[in-house]
Amino acid sequence: MHLARAAQVVRRDMFDGRGVLSSYAEADGTNMMPCTHEEADTRLLLHVADVVNRGSRKVCVRTVDTDVLVLAIASFEKINPDELWVAFGRGASFKYIPVHQLVNTIQPQMCSTLSFFHALSECDTVSSFSGRGKKTAWDTWLRFPEVTNAFEAVMMMPSEINDAVLSVLERFVVLLYERTSGLTRVNDARKHLFAQKSRGIENIPPTQAALVQHIKRACYQANIWNQALILTPQLPCPSNWGWKQGSEGWEPLWTTLPEASVSCAELIRCGCIKGCTGRCKCVKAALKCTALCSCSGNC
């Protein structure tokens, strides 16, 4: 797939007074083969690196995808152009973003771990934390910089997430949901926010079991992005990183815990009033009606 058809690196004699830009279209691309990248996002950065290696110092990338901007920031130091611009968006929201200036305003370690942060806080392949967007996640990162080392540790794709790293990541998620919380574990925060703060189930942190799988999926996606400048990236099996093989392909492994309706059968109650029939929830679950049921267990 030609770069210009995915997200363009363009060339013009002048580009808003910022100088001559470069295009992969000028090269035959022979040194880019073989290339096994499946995503246009990572292919784009690979082509940008090739353009710079051929001697171009000022490059502009045209895209409407936030992932590309994140990858441009995370990969800037490795590509090392003089100027890297991202022509981002369309219509009234279109803008030129100077990546080379942005990286000077962000700590180097934050730049290098930005891809994992982006995946953890939601991307195309990793779900979001309910009610918590990118801005909230970024503000939490700034208030809790200790999590950066944990981001760096999991980006190394360890065989398992050790307790020390998981503890820091849990603390980050707790602060994501309650900025002033003194709790460190998401399970404790769930109980506290649900019972004492009257938060709805959709507005409390995930369980630790669900968070671990979420972190694994973020690791896997970040690993794909971190190999953007490699022609033939080597990826681990998704089954070890928060995914499971389904009838229609890979699907998220949301948690290793059983469903509440299965593990907490005593919470099942029916709405029968005039007597239980074959449609009764309790009958279907092979349970006796209790005082929680509409029939008060007297059927």
User: In the numeric block, which tokens belong to residue 288?
Assistant: 């006796």
Q: Are residues 11 and 57 in the same domain?
A: yes
Boundary of a domain, candidates 105, 120, 140:
105
Helix or strand or coil: residue 235? coil
Q: Are residues 265 and 197 in the same domain?
A: no
Q: What is the pLDDT of residue 58?
A: 94
Q: Are residues 152 and 65 in the same domain?
A: no
Q: Are residues 119 and 24 in the same domain?
A: no
| Tens-digit pLDDT profile for residues 224-266 | 999 999 999 999 999 999 999 999 999 999 999 876 555 555 5
| Tens-digit pLDDT profile for residues 45-93 | 999 999 999 899 999 999 999 999 999 999 999 999 999 999 999 999 9
Q: Are residues 146 and 68 in the same domain?
A: no
User: In the numeric block, which tokens belong to residue 40?
Assistant: 């246009």
Mean pLDDT rounded to a whole number for the chain: 86
CA distance 225 to 39: 9
CA distance 6 to 41: 8
pLDDT band (50, 70, 90) for residue 12: very low
Q: What is the pLDDT of residue 137?
A: 98
Average pLDDT rounded to a whole number, residues 80-107:
96
Q: Are residues 86 and 160 in the same domain?
A: no
State if pTM tops 0.85.
no
In terms of DSSP bridges, do strands 243-246 and 83-88 run parallel, antiparallel, or are they unpaired?
unpaired
Domains contained in the chain, number: 3
Q: Are residues 52 and 123 in the same domain?
A: no
CA distance 181 to 135: 19
CB 7 within 8 A of CB 62: yes
pLDDT at 170 over 50: yes
Boundary of a domain, candidates 105, 127, 142:
105
Cβ neighbours, 10 Å, residue 82 = 11
Q: What is the span of the domain harbouring residue 13?
A: 3-105
Q: Are residues 269 and 228 in the same domain?
A: no
Q: Are residues 248 and 142 in the same domain?
A: yes
CB 151 within 8 A of CB 165: no
CB 229 within 8 A of CB 78: yes
Whole-number Cα distances in Å, 208 to 44, 52, 135, 288: 36, 44, 23, 32
CB 128 within 8 A of CB 113: no
Q: Are residues 243 and 291 in the same domain?
A: no
CB-count burial class (<10 Å; 0-12, 13-18, 19+) for 247: exposed
Average pLDDT rounded to a whole number, residues 264-288:
76
Q: Are residues 115 and 225 in the same domain?
A: yes
Q: Are residues 266 and 153 in the same domain?
A: no
